[in-house]
């Protein structure tokens, strides 16, 4: 099954390419071969001089520096080594390190091509071209979208008027002023962990002003917590009496002092936090010993596409469990889903941050990603868009990706609107509200109507391209909708400075504010239009089909619903016609891994902690109705991930699924810590396997027994009894996955079909529940056909990610990573 999914030979992922380079010519395992050759009377070729980049591919270097390894010929003496970049001697940067390797940090690289040469013993020479991009990006995600408004040391108020109006700026948490690319000078601060852990607060010890100034008031500052768990540390002052110690995972007990590096990368603001000894130096070639070489990458939640630079959503202080064990933790606002919904740009930022760590702190053993909701999207999409950036992920509130999650959002918006139309009100006029809601639940595929209401309110307007007035479900029982009077937009810009669908011609040149326009360098524009191509589509979708077949709704309700449900245009404005996707965007979504690819996900170790968030009316034992304010993280999404991996890789044994319900979305007890420690064990075993076994097989072989699937039944008040019989888990109504509107319409649970292929209406599909008149009306609705779910989606194809978008939308596969050549 796995081999049948392989395309020709796409470009290697960044980490995979580095691994291939490091594996080549290392001299390991040559003894037997050498003996055989000697016995056969053949002379083994002498090892040549070789140059390797350590932290990234040589053609994807950023920020003007690169950690480089020189592999010397066997008889070459280190003192004879001469290294130069663009003719400039950098030999002094290189030395033999504690691990026996000859490495050095090459700095001062120019933007573009840089020729690195090395010469040693007997005149042997090698050359490698390094291609360097600025820290402001981009590298391979295409042209950066403008306008984009930089953060400032103190937030500034809105300025200008009309089309030239600018939004208020966010506080950067940095002292320097941004340049034109939003680069701000990097800063370092020291903090220590207080022993007053029982009552301390994990808030940031350096919060930024949160409210921009006005004409009459200065920026409103937020003071540090009075009982902060982490406090500023002055290495020149006396040792704090309340300074804690910590023991790392390799049994080093050290003072709990943390250095926080804050800077900018790819127009995002980042924090890097790690245990630090102020009395000792730290370099990439000589890291401090309390860092275990492991990286924990935290991704922020939600989703959005505002055009304002901001600090990361996650406070590094909240990751003390990782920091205290010796991990380096990192986050960047461009990898926070609420701030950036261009997933290729997000993955590029992860690559750039990992290179920053490699070049500034030392080689990385492995990287674990983590996040909830939008953070789970970014975790999974890294594994799909650029496999190898993350070696393992631990997620909660899991979604597979943003494009296919949009299917349920869009369907719920259309259905909630349709339920309020007079045609449905007329059909349901004699029913009780409970009967009406039961029909809605059957069509939606959810336990009740509240989940679609939640999608409508939380993200129903997220696709709006310009100025709009929010519409919200005001009554969770009836589904009544109200419209707010104040217009807004999703760019977080003044309304006068963005596109307005009410004035399409006059404002066509102004920024558009939906996810597809934000990622326009990936999707491209609609020919002859300033709008971006996108993937939204509901042509041929028969809403409520399963509900009809099961007798939950009548034939008249089914036909009427599909007559009136309609679709949206590119601005997300409702219309009578169905929504139609752009074929080029569909093909890009699959080829680039933007639709999370099971084949790519299979290469990553996954622990998915799936809680209950399917309803805020029907709740498990121990919860109060209304606890889940926006129930949108549905059980079935975790199974969609599993189904995709199994379909494309033969099995989903790289995904551990830990289910619970009693505590909502928050893992109970020590589950989150257990997942972190189990994933650490899993990745340690994975990296210990240096065989040539394919990565997806290594991941499965390294999986620890402690990661096996289980559930905690909601009736278990202690939440401590792990049930491993999946049939028992599935029998519980709060652990069993429900459906989505597309699945009720006949679609697969893996929900990876963005636009279906069509087939003619077949009378046999409706269980005899439609009369001749209703069938005729249905054929009129679906004049081009209904979804044929037995076929792949339109444009659906095997992912060949990662793709390079430097040359424009659509992307092309990367070639092999550059290697040094003899001179």
Q: Which two tokens stand for residue 63?
A: 């920020």
- Is the model's pLDDT at 503 over the cut of 50? yes
- The strand pairing partners of 656, in sequence order, are 607
pLDDT mean over 355-359: 98
Q: Which two tokens stand for residue 80?
A: 């004879």
Angle at 660 between CA 658 and CA 663, to 5 degrees: 135
pLDDT band at 208 (very low <50, low <70, confident <90, very high): confident
Q: Among 66-70, 621-625, 755-759, which stretch is predicted with the lowest mean pLDDT?
A: 621-625
Q: Concatenated DSSP letters for 234-281?
A: -TTSPPPTTB-EEE-TTS-EEE-EEEEEEEEETTEEEEEEEE--TTS-
- Is the model's pLDDT at 10 over the cut of 50? no
User: CA nearest 517: which of 145, 140, 795, 806?
Assistant: 145
The 3-state DSSP class for residue 823 equals coil
Question: What distance in Å separates the CA atoms of residue 645 and residue 641, rounded to the nearest whole number?
Answer: 6
- Is the model's pLDDT at 688 over the cut of 80? yes
Question: What distance in Å separates the CA atoms of residue 64 and residue 57, rounded to the nearest whole number?
Answer: 14
* Confidence (pLDDT) at 627: 67
Question: What distance in Å separates the CA atoms of residue 528 and residue 100, rounded to the nearest whole number?
Answer: 59
* Confidence (pLDDT) at 225: 85
Q: Among 3-17, 580-594, 647-661, which stretch is predicted with the lowest mean pLDDT?
A: 3-17
CA dihedral 304, 611, 323, 19 (to 10 degrees): -70
- Residue ranges per structural domain of the chain: 3-133, 162-210+221-399, 403-591+740-787
* Confidence (pLDDT) at 624: 78
CA dihedral 372, 378, 382, 384 (to 10 degrees): 90
Backbone torsions φ then ψ of 381, nearest 5 degrees:
-75, -30
* Confidence (pLDDT) at 122: 72
pLDDT band at 11 (very low <50, low <70, confident <90, very high): very low
pLDDT mean over 421-443: 97
- 256: buried, middle or exposed (CB in 10 Å: 19+, 13-18, 0-12)? buried
pLDDT in tens, 760-790: 999 999 999 999 999 999 999 999 999 999 9
- Is the model's pLDDT at 221 over the cut of 80? no
pLDDT in tens, 119-155: 997 778 999 999 999 999 999 999 999 999 999 999 9
Q: Which two tokens stand for residue 38?
A: 């000697």
* Confidence (pLDDT) at 220: 78
Residues 6+ apart with CB under 8 A from 656: 606, 607, 608, 678, 703, 707, 708, 709
Q: State the first-to-last Cα distance of the chain, in angstroms, to the nearest integer.
A: 44
Q: Which helix (H) or strand (E) holds 625?
A: none
Instruction: Kindly report the pTM of this predicted structure.
Output: 0.93
Cα distances (Å, whole numbers) of residue 245 to 240, 242, 251, 322: 12, 10, 12, 14
Q: Among 317-331, 356-370, 509-523, 611-625, which stretch is predicted with the lowest mean pLDDT?
A: 611-625
- Is the model's pLDDT at 597 over the cut of 70? yes
pLDDT mean over 685-703: 97
Question: What distance in Å separates the CA atoms of residue 174 and residue 264, rounded to the nearest whole number?
Answer: 10
Residue listed under structure tokens 């000894």: 277
DSSP 8-state symbol, 629: S
* Confidence (pLDDT) at 210: 73
pLDDT band at 569 (very low <50, low <70, confident <90, very high): very high
Q: Which two tokens stand for residue 372?
A: 């909830």
- Highest mean predicted confidence (pLDDT) among 11-15, 18-22, 273-277, 626-630: 273-277
CB 482 within 8 A of CB 469: no
3-133: CATH topology is: Immunoglobulin-like (2.60.40)
Question: What distance in Å separates the CA atoms of residue 736 and residue 215, rounded to the nearest whole number?
Answer: 55
- 199: buried, middle or exposed (CB in 10 Å: 19+, 13-18, 0-12)? exposed
CB 65 within 8 A of CB 105: yes
pLDDT in tens, 529-555: 999 999 999 999 999 999 999 999 999
Q: Concatenated DSSP letters for 104-160?
A: EEE--PPSEEEEEEEEETTTEEEEEEEEEE-TT--SSS-SPPS--B--BSS----B-
- Is the model's pLDDT at 379 over the cut of 80? yes
CB 604 within 8 A of CB 649: no
- The strand pairing partners of 392, in sequence order, are 368, 605
- Is the model's pLDDT at 614 over the cut of 50? yes
* Confidence (pLDDT) at 583: 98
* Confidence (pLDDT) at 124: 85
Question: Is the omega angle on the peptide bond into residue 196 within 30 degrees of 0, that is, cis?
Answer: no
* Confidence (pLDDT) at 4: 31
pLDDT mean over 401-426: 98
- Helix, strand and coil in the chain, % to nearest 5: 30, 20, 55
Question: What distance in Å separates the CA atoms of residue 722 and residue 713, rounded to the nearest whole number?
Answer: 8
Alpha helices (runs of H) in 565-628, residue ranges in sequence order? 583-591, 598-601
* Confidence (pLDDT) at 622: 85
Q: Which helix (H) or strand (E) holds 38?
A: helix 31-39
CB 373 within 8 A of CB 666: no
pLDDT in tens, 272-330: 999 999 999 999 999 999 999 999 999 999 999 999 999 999 999 999 999 999 999 99
What percent of the chain stands above pLDDT 90?
A: 88
* Confidence (pLDDT) at 46: 55
The 3-state DSSP class for residue 637 equals helix
* Confidence (pLDDT) at 218: 77
CB 752 within 8 A of CB 738: no
Q: Which two tokens stand for residue 171?
A: 């506080």
pLDDT in tens, 236-252: 999 999 999 999 999 99
pLDDT band at 336 (very low <50, low <70, confident <90, very high): very high
Rg of the Cα atoms in the chain: 28
Cα distances (Å, whole numbers) of residue 801 to 107, 467, 515, 542, 593: 30, 35, 20, 32, 6
What mean pLDDT value characterizes the chain?
93
pLDDT mean over 616-621: 91
* Confidence (pLDDT) at 39: 36
pLDDT in tens, 714-765: 999 999 999 999 999 999 999 999 999 999 999 999 999 999 999 999 999 9
User: CA nearest 796: which of 617, 600, 590?
Assistant: 590
pLDDT band at 37 (very low <50, low <70, confident <90, very high): very low
What percent of the chain stands above pLDDT 70?
A: 94
- Is the model's pLDDT at 26 over the cut of 70? no
* Confidence (pLDDT) at 326: 98
Q: How many CB atoms lie within 10 A of CB 726?
A: 14
């Amino acid at each position: 099954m796995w081999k049948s999914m392989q395309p020709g030979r796409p470009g290697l992922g960044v980490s995979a390419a580095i691994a291939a380079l490091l594996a080549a010519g290392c001299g390991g395992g040559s003894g037997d071969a050498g003996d055989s050759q000697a016995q056969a009377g053949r002379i083994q070729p002498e090892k040549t001089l070789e140059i390797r980049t350590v932290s990234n591919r040589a053609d994807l270097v950023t920020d003007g520096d690169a950690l480089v390894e020189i592999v010397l010929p066997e008889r070459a003496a280190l003192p004879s080594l001469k290294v130069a970049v663009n003719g400039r001697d950098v030999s002094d940067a290189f030395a033999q390190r504690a691990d026996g390797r000859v490495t050095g940090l090459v700095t001062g690289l120019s933007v573009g091509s840089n020729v690195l040469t090395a010469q040693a013993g007997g005149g042997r020479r090698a050359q490698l071209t390094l291609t360097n991009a600025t820290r402001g990006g981009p590298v391979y995600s295409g042209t950066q979208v403008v306008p984009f408004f930089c953060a400032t040391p103190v937030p500034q108020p809105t300025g200008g008027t009309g089309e030239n109006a600018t939004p208020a700026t966010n506080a950067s948490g940095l002292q320097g002023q941004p340049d034109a690319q939003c680069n701000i000078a990097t800063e370092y601060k020291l903090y220590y962990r207080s022993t007053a852990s029982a009552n301390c607060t994990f808030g940031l010890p350096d919060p930024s002003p949160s409210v921009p100034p006005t004409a009459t008031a200065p920026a409103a500052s937020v003071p540090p917590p009075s009982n902060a768990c982490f406090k500023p540390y002055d290495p020149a002052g006396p040792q704090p009496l309340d300074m804690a110690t910590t023991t790392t995972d390799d049994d080093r007990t050290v003072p709990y002092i943390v250095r926080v590096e804050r800077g900018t990368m790819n127009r995002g603001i980042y924090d890097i936090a790690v245990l630090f000894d102020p009395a000792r130096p730290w370099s990439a070639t000589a890291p401090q010993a309390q860092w275990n070489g492991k990286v924990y990458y935290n991704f922020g939640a939600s989703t959005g596409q505002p055009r304002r630079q901001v600090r990361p959503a996650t406070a590094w202080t909240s990751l003390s469990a990782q920091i205290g064990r010796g991990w380096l933790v990192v986050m960047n606002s461009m990898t926070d889903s609420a701030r950036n919904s261009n997933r290729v740009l997000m993955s590029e930022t992860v690559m750039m941050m990992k290179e920053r760590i490699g070049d500034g702190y030392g080689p990385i053993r492995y990287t674990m990603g983590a996040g909830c909701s939008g953070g789970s999207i970014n975790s999974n999409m890294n594994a799909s868009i650029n496999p190898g950036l993350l070696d393992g992920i631990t997620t909660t509130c899991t979604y597979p990706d943003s494009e296919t999650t949009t299917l349920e959002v869009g369907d719920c918006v259309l259905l909630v609107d349709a339920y309020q139309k007079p045609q449905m009100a007329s059909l349901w006029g004699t029913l009780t509200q409970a009967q009406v809601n039961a029909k809605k639940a059957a069509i939606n595929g959810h336990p009740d109507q509240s989940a679609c209401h939640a999608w409508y309110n939380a993200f129903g307007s997220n696709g709006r391209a310009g100025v709009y007035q929010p519409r919200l479900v005001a009554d969770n029982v009836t589904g009544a909708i109200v419209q707010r009077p104040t217009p807004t937009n999703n760019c977080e810009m003044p309304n006068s400075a963005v596109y307005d669908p009410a004035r399409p011609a006059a404002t066509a040149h102004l920024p558009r504010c939906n996810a597809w326009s934000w990622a326009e360098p990936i999707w491209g524009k609609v020919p002859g239009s300033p709008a971006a191509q996108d993937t939204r589509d509901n042509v041929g979708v028969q809403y409520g089909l399963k509900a009809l077949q099961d007798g939950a709704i009548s034939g008249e309700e089914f036909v009427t619903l599909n007559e009136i449900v309609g679709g949206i245009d590119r601005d997300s404005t409702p219309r009578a016609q169905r929504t139609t996707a752009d074929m080029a965007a569909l093909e890009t979504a699959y080829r680039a891994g933007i639709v999370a690819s099971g084949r790519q996900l299979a290469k990553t170790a996954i622990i998915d902690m799936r809680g209950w968030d399917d309803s805020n009316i029907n709740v498990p034992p121990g919860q109060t109705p209304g606890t889940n304010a926006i129930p949108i993280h549905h059980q079935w999404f975790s199974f969609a991930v599993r189904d995709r991996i199994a379909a494309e890789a033969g099995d989903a044994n790289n995904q551990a699924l830990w289910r619970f319900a009693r505590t909502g979305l928050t893992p109970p007890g020590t589950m989150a810590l257990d997942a972190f420690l189990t994933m650490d064990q899993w990745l340690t075993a994975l990296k210990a396997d240096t065989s040539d076994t394919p990565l997806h097989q290594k991941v499965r072989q390294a999986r620890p027994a402690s990661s096996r699937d289980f559930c905690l039944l909601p009736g278990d008040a202690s939440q401590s009894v792990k049930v491993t019989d999946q049939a028992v888990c599935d029998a519980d109504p709060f652990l069993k996955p429900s459906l989505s509107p597309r699945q009720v319409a006949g679609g697969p649970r893996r929900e990876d079909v963005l636009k279906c292929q069509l087939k003619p209406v077949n009378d046999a599909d409706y269980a005899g529940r439609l009369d001749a008149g209703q069938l005729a009306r249905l054929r009129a609705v679906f004049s081009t056909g209904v979804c044929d779910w037995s076929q792949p989606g339109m444009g659906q194809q095997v992912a060949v990610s990662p793709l390079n978008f430097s040359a424009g939308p659509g992307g092309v596969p990367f070639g092999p990573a550059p290697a040094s050549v003899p001179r």
